[in-house]
């Protein structure tokens, strides 16, 4: 049996460098798989949570072996925009548009104690996290409301959930202030944001300042805070039917002013489809120039937008194809799953991806390949994930799909047969109902 040269923790990544050690047994060997862009099937060796070797017919002993049988090995999906605090919460009456859904959730927050609120979030979000894991999602970023009635309780629950799920799904937490209310209440929202930053609860500063007359003041204050604490700024932007992208244009300017390129995410921007081409292309050029990430949430916006329209009904979808063609780092994500903002959803990124491809008419093989990347590599870049992918040195957070390449996985809605997290087999299709215990 040949020896495999393996990276050891904290040491350099490449086998021809020193600090590599010979190993006879690795943690996990995934045999006979297709990788993106590889013409032949390969074996993938995993040790100490990372991919350490990729080659044909690797001759090495492993603690555990997965027979890939020609399946597609992909990095896990990244769902970069969700609302885990609201998921699986429902009101007695169905909301018919965005503001109605917001009002229903706010009313609920006034009816429960902080303890009840936290318990409810932990229970409901666990349900969707488990669904997401079965569907191959290994990184989820969640906006969590700072409700006037609950303060930091929602964020604290999500931080607790992050710890509970640390070996299954990586959770990023973005606090979303609620600026509806008096000036005193708004000041209190900023005080809570500051406290959450000081306690290291957050990966991102959120909010939807475009709703408000003083949007410019609020947006600048949010940039100020994110900049001071070195956090991402991750905003809901111009989610409306009217041709008003004032907030998006301001964010492009503020990103430059604060030197925050690469650390700004704009979600929704549905109004981008309502403005004329010259204004749209000018701002898209700015998004690309300032390295601002965009997330489109078509499944939720198809439900929420154009509610006052008679036929033809506006679709509430941003300029997905044009943003992609302009070179903007564009991702798709789930947004709301089974709550007043969208009563359906399965936390399944392949499902969200196929819908995105359809509504944006990105259906050639090259475009479908790009859409697959909008659920994997692009959101990983937006969230600043290091060592993402399937190559030597990547973190071994990978999934096997019943397909031979990404386009087939998307079009066929391929089953996820194996989920590997931190280099350990966490779940197989056969044991997916009891995956809480390692297979
Ligand atoms: Zn959202």
Per-residue pLDDT averaged across 412-429, rounded?
A: 96
418 pLDDT above the threshold of 50: yes
What the block records as the tokens of 6 is 């393996």
Q: Alpha-carbon distance 114 to 56, whole Å?
A: 55
Residue 141 CA to ligand 1 center (angstroms) comes to 11
Angle of helix 215-229 relative to helix 246-258, nearest 10 degrees?
30
Q: Alpha-carbon distance 281 to 325, whole Å?
A: 11
Query: What pLDDT does residue 431 have?
Result: 64
Average pLDDT, the chain: 92
256 pLDDT above the threshold of 70: yes
Per-residue pLDDT averaged across 80-107, rounded?
A: 88
Q: Please, which residues bridge with residue 78 across strands?
A: 139
pLDDT-derived band at 9, boundaries 50, 70, 90: very low
pLDDT digits (tens, 9 = 90+) for 114-125: 999 999 999 999
> Contact, 411 vs 354, CB < 8 A?
yes
Residue 83 CA to ligand 1 center (angstroms) comes to 6
pLDDT-derived band at 16, boundaries 50, 70, 90: very low
316 pLDDT above the threshold of 50: yes
Residue 52 CA to ligand 1 center (angstroms) comes to 37
Query: What pLDDT does residue 283 have?
Result: 98
Q: What is the DSSP letter of 335?
A: B
Per-residue pLDDT averaged across 426-432, rounded?
A: 80
> Contact, 405 vs 36, CB < 8 A?
yes
Express the helix, strand and coil content of the chain in percent, nearest 5 each. 35, 25, 40
pLDDT-derived band at 190, boundaries 50, 70, 90: very high
> Contact, 169 vs 132, CB < 8 A?
yes
What the block records as the tokens of 425 is 């087999």
Residue 296 CA to ligand 1 center (angstroms) comes to 10
Per-residue pLDDT averaged across 294-309, rounded?
A: 93
278 pLDDT above the threshold of 90: yes
Residue 206 CA to ligand 1 center (angstroms) comes to 10
> Contact, 374 vs 37, CB < 8 A?
no
Query: What pLDDT does residue 40 have?
Result: 92
Express as a percent the part of the chain with pLDDT over 70: 92
pLDDT-derived band at 78, boundaries 50, 70, 90: very high
Per-residue pLDDT averaged across 417-429, rounded?
A: 95
Q: Alpha-carbon distance 74 to 64, whole Å?
A: 19
Per-residue pLDDT averaged across 301-315, rounded?
A: 91
Q: What is the 3-state secondary structure (H, E, C) of 76-108?
A: CEEEEEECCCCCCCCCCCCCCCHHHHHHHHHHH
Segment among 111-125, 135-149, 423-437 with least mean pLDDT: 423-437
Residue 72 CA to ligand 1 center (angstroms) comes to 31
Residue 81 CA to ligand 1 center (angstroms) comes to 6
227 pLDDT above the threshold of 90: yes
pLDDT-derived band at 99, boundaries 50, 70, 90: confident
pLDDT-derived band at 23, boundaries 50, 70, 90: low
200 pLDDT above the threshold of 80: yes
pLDDT-derived band at 6, boundaries 50, 70, 90: low
> Contact, 251 vs 266, CB < 8 A?
yes
Residue 361 CA to ligand 1 center (angstroms) comes to 23
Query: What pLDDT does residue 435 have?
Result: 47
pLDDT digits (tens, 9 = 90+) for 331-382: 999 999 999 889 999 999 999 999 999 999 999 999 999 999 999 999 999 9
> Contact, 75 vs 393, CB < 8 A?
no
277 phi, psi to nearest 5 deg: -55, -40
Q: Alpha-carbon distance 287 to 92, whole Å?
A: 41
> Contact, 392 vs 54, CB < 8 A?
yes
> Contact, 352 vs 346, CB < 8 A?
no
Query: What pLDDT does residue 3 have?
Result: 52
Per-residue pLDDT averaged across 217-245, rounded?
A: 97
Strands 42-47 and 25-33: antiparallel
Q: Which domains does the chain have, with CATH numbers?
A: 4-75+388-434 (2.30.40.10), 77-382 (3.20.20.140)
DSSP labels for 290-301? TT-EEEE-HHHH
pLDDT-derived band at 92, boundaries 50, 70, 90: confident
Residue 234 CA to ligand 1 center (angstroms) comes to 10
Q: Alpha-carbon distance 232 to 228, whole Å?
A: 11
> Contact, 122 vs 160, CB < 8 A?
yes
Per-residue pLDDT averaged across 212-235, rounded?
A: 97
436 pLDDT above the threshold of 70: no
Residue 172 CA to ligand 1 center (angstroms) comes to 14
Query: What pLDDT does residue 5 have?
Result: 54
Express as a percent the part of the chain with pLDDT over 90: 82
> Contact, 198 vs 169, CB < 8 A?
no
Residue 341 CA to ligand 1 center (angstroms) comes to 9
Per-residue pLDDT averaged across 77-93, rounded?
A: 93
Residue 347 CA to ligand 1 center (angstroms) comes to 14
Residue 62 CA to ligand 1 center (angstroms) comes to 43
Query: What pLDDT does residue 94 have?
Result: 78
Q: What is the DSSP letter of 270?
A: G
Q: Which residue has the tokens 């609920």?
A: 108
Residue 327 CA to ligand 1 center (angstroms) comes to 23
């Amino acid at each position: 049996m040949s020896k495999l040269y393996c990276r050891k923790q904290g040491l350099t990544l490449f086998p021809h460098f020193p600090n590599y050690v010979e190993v006879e047994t690795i943690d996990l060997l995934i045999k006979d798989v297709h990788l993106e862009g590889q013409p032949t099937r390969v074996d993938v060796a995993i040790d100490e949570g990372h991919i350490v070797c990729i080659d044909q017919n690797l001759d090495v002993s492993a603690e555990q072996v997965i027979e890939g049988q020609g399946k597609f090995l992909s990095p896990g999906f990244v769902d970069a925009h969700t609302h885990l605090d609201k998921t699986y919460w429902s009101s007695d009456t169905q909301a018919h548009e965005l503001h109605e859904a917001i009002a229903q959730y706010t009313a609920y927050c006034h009816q429960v104690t902080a303890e009840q609120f936290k318990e409810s979030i932990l229970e409901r979000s666990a349900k969707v996290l488990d669904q997401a894991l079965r569907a191959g999602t290994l990184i989820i970023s969640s906006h969590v409301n700072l409700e006037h009635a609950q303060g930091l309780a929602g964020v604290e629950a999500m931080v607790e959930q992050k710890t509970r799920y640390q070996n299954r799904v990586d959770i990023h937490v973005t606090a979303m202030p609620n600026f509806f209310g008096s000036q005193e209440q708004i000041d209190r929202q900023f005080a809570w944001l500051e406290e959450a930053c000081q306690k290291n609860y957050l990966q991102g500063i959120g909010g939807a300042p475009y709703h408000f007359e003083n949007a410019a003041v609020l947006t600048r204050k949010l940039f100020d805070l994110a900049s001071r604490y070195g956090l991402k700024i991750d905003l809901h932007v111009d989610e409306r039917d009217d041709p008003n992208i004032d907030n998006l244009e301001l964010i492009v300017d503020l990103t430059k002013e604060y030197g925050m390129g690469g650390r700004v995410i704009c979600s929704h921007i549905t109004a981008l489809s309502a403005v004329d081409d010259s204004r749209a292309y000018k701002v898209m050029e700015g998004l690309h120039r300032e390295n601002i990430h965009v997330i489109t949430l078509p499944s939720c916006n198809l439900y929420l937008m154009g509610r006052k329209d008679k036929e033809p009904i506006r679709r509430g979808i941003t300029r997905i194809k044009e943003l992609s063609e302009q070179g903007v780092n564009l991702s798709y994500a789930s947004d709301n799953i089974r709550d007043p903002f969208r009563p359906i959803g399965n936390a399944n990124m392949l499902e969200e991806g196929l819908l995105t491809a359809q509504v944006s008419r990105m259906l050639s093989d090259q475009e479908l390949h790009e859409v697959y990347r909008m659920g994997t590599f692009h959101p990983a870049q937006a969230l600043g994930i290091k060592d993402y992918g399937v190559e030597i040195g990547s973190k071994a957070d990978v999934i096997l799909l019943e397909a031979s390449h990404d386009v087939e996985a998307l079009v066929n809605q391929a089953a996820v047969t194996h989920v590997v997290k931190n280099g350990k087999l966490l779940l197989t299709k056969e044991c997916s109902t009891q995956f809480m215990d390692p297979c």
